[in-house]
Amino acid sequence: MSLDRTAICNYFLSLQDLIVSKLEKEDEKKFHVDSWERVAGGGGRTKVLLDGSTFEKAGVNFSDVSGEFSEEFAKQIPGDGRAFTACGISLVLHPKNPFVPTVHANFRYLTRGNRAWFGGGVDLTPYYPFREDVIAFHKVWHKACTTHSDVADYDKLKSWCDEYFHLPHRNEPRGVGGIFFDYLDKNLDQVWSFVQECGNSFLSSYLPIVQKRKTQFFSEAHKEFQEYRRGRYVEFNLLYDRGTIFGLKTGGRIESILMSLPLKVRWLYDYQPTIGSKEAELYEIYLKPRDWAREV
């Protein structure tokens, strides 16, 4: 089956609109919208909210670009020739309340020569985790995969996520994971159905957590720990994230590429959490890969 690239891009555009509309209702503040064009080909639409009541910074980006890879970067990408197309949606939501986790998701469709594939994923980065929230998040993604088990092996995609969102220089995961996939190029029609399932599942995986935790009292110490842990987010996105690297290597729009970075962040020297504290619990229990979807 030959996929309709226009239909794929239109779905990602409509998903951006849906997610932003729900987030605006949650925050009671409007996103700023930037529509942009790329000199090398294509363009996109970036929607960003700053300093809202719920989100300190939230970005939901759509892009539909084309161009040519450099000879060096082309060696790292499947397919023939240097011409490529890429369309997709990416989002990162940084909440104000430290008891609400940061979340990231992206879904994309790429072509190069005679090759076409999907990539994407979603992962949760809590600062003060709640067991029931982590389990509920993972169960949504377990269901999305098992609904499309012919092309989406949950255990594989969950492990792939744990391996991908890992900071090797810290020997530490970024958060509690989710699912991750790339270069899915077999049975593309079925993979496309799976990608739509993922896109349609995002809000149900995250908004209930926001609604439960966004009014919880927090202290300045809680906020400082959140900003410290956000440093890990910055380190991963600038050093290892494939989307960031792809955007920079292909002459992407810098403001859109770096929208994932938090508004406020801090790096402390040789920080060690107090034994028995909630901060220590994050390291001892949650920053270790675990089969959360099968827990009760």
Residues assigned a catalytic role: 104
Q: Are strands 102-112 and 83-95 parallel, antiparallel or unpaired?
A: antiparallel
**Phi-psi map region of 212: left, alpha, beta (phi>0 left; psi -120 to 50 alpha):** alpha
- The alpha-carbon radius of gyration of the chain (Å, integer) is 19
CB 108 within 8 A of CB 182: no
- Rounded CA-CA distance 86/66 in Å is 6
Q: Sign of dihedral through CA atoms 145, 120, 200, 133?
A: positive
Residue 153 to residues 69, 158, 261, Cα–Cα distance (Å): 31, 8, 30
Tokens of 40: 């090398």
The amino acid at residue 171 is: N
Name beta bridge partners: 60: 47, 91
- Rounded CA-CA distance 181/153 in Å is 10
CB 120 within 8 A of CB 109: no
What DSSP designation does 84 have? E
